[in-house]
Structure 1
Amino acid sequence: MLIHPDRSTLLVIDIQERLQPFIDQGDSVLAHSQWLLRVAQRIGVPVICTEQYPRGIGPTVPALRELLPDSAVVEKIYFSAVAECAGGLAGPGSDGAEGGGIFAAPGGERRQFVVVGTESHVCVMQTVLDLLAAGRRVFVVEEAVGSRRASDKALALERMRRHGADIVSREMVAFEWLQRAGTDLFRGVSRDFIK
């Protein structure tokens, strides 16, 4: 299945000030996430950004936060952003009820989620597995997710893939959102983002 611009949302998970310096290849994860966020905005794909306990871990890094309206940012306590939506009821024995959180944010009603963020083996993976359980299609951008240890990222990607997530690159996402060449949008995105 292709990623469709009218059916997908970019979900940026917990790229926060106090955690970011400890992420393996953290500068690269941030740069790829920012690139994809800017492409999503140019194409008109909604963006949701989560913050895990911002009083402790800090807010979203300024390079991302300054690009987002307040309505796109969702605070959470649960590691899974979907568990937060179900009032903490997602997981074993959950009825999958959708409450607030990412499902209530603009774009949260969409059926496809393109996921970037940290940490791959904690909040990213738990959110992805819960999104899949809720019937969403999930596309994890390999170069735009990270963990403190590379081995944890590798294990998380393997587990997410095994459970049905597609592991993709940022350019795969951008070209699928664009759908075709020869348009003004394609020329603008190609000129400004595809190098």
Structure 2
Amino acid sequence: MLTTDKSVLVIIDVQGKLAQVMQQSPELHKQLGILIQGAQLFDMPILWVEQLPDKLGGTTEELAALLSKTTQVIPKSYFSAWQSPEFQQQLARLNRTDIILAGIETHVCVYQTCQDLLSNRYNVHLVADAVSSRTVENKQLGIQMMTQLGARTTNTESCLFELQHQASGERFKSLLKLIK
């Protein structure tokens, strides 16, 4: 079960024009926004990476505005975030075992990051409604490849309610406002 003290949210490459041509881009951005704000509500750390930002552009404005409240972007040149020494260092400092993984593209950067995280003994929880690819087939295949490797699939609401654990308190009320 996910807990706030063992989890970290990882946001992969939701950048520039590419983010706009993902399947169901508006819904993807909505779910990512909820997920980011939920992690912030739980005071959970977020690792935010961008693939070659000088060439692909930065994270979409709405998500960058949310993310920049609590975290700094980590630029990378490899498809897998794990291959970035800065990513590995920040993750090691957090001393967390559960990775909540979201972003684009499902079958490339998200998949390769997932593969490396699993190989390094992290538990990966793939947020299926907060990942996307340019085609539905590539998204579905990416999710399938990650689950075959051992990633667990979840969705934004299930993930946040699992982190919340109980249906009471001020944080629960704030969470309900966030998802509605």
Interval of TM-score (by shorter of Structure 1 and Structure 2): over 0.9
Pairwise mapping of residues 131-142 of structure 1 onto structure 2 (< 5 A)?
Answer: 131-142=117-128
Counterpart in the other structure of 2:25: 26
Counterpart in the other structure of 1:114: 100
Task: State the distance in 1 between where 2:37 and 2:130 align.
Answer: 13
User: 1:17–1:112: structure 2 CA closer, same or farther, 3 Å change rule?
Assistant: same
Pairwise mapping of residues 1-195 of structure 1 onto structure 2 (< 5 A)?
Answer: 2-69=1-68, 71-85=71-85, 100-104=86-90, 108-190=94-176, 192-195=177-180
Instruction: Tell me the number of residue pairs that the alignment of Structure 1 and Structure 2 aligns.
Output: 179
Task: State the distance in 2 between where 1:186 and 1:29 align.
Answer: 23
1:102 Cα deviation from its structure 2 partner: 4.6
Q: Secondary structure at the match of 1:66?
A: helix
Q: Secondary structure at the match of 2:128?
A: strand
TM-score if structure 2 supplies the norm length?
0.93
- Segments of 5+ residues of structure 1 without an aligned counterpart are 86-99
Task: State the distance in 1 between where 2:89 and 2:46 align.
Answer: 12
1:122 Cα deviation from its structure 2 partner: 0.4
Deviates more, 1:174-183 or 1:161-170: 174-183
| 4+ runs deviating over 3 angstroms | 105-109
Larger radius of gyration: 1
| Matching residue's letter, 1:124 | V
The structure with the greater share of residues assigned to helix is: 2
Q: Secondary structure at the match of 1:35?
A: helix
| Matching residue's letter, 1:194 | I
User: 1:107–1:43: structure 2 CA closer, same or farther, 3 Å change rule?
Assistant: farther
1:161 Cα deviation from its structure 2 partner: 0.3
User: 1:102–1:72: structure 2 CA closer, same or farther, 3 Å change rule?
Assistant: farther
Q: Secondary structure at the match of 1:143?
A: strand
1:72 Cα deviation from its structure 2 partner: 2.8
Q: Deviations over 1:156-182 (max 9, x none)?
A: 101100110001011111111111122
1:13 Cα deviation from its structure 2 partner: 0.3
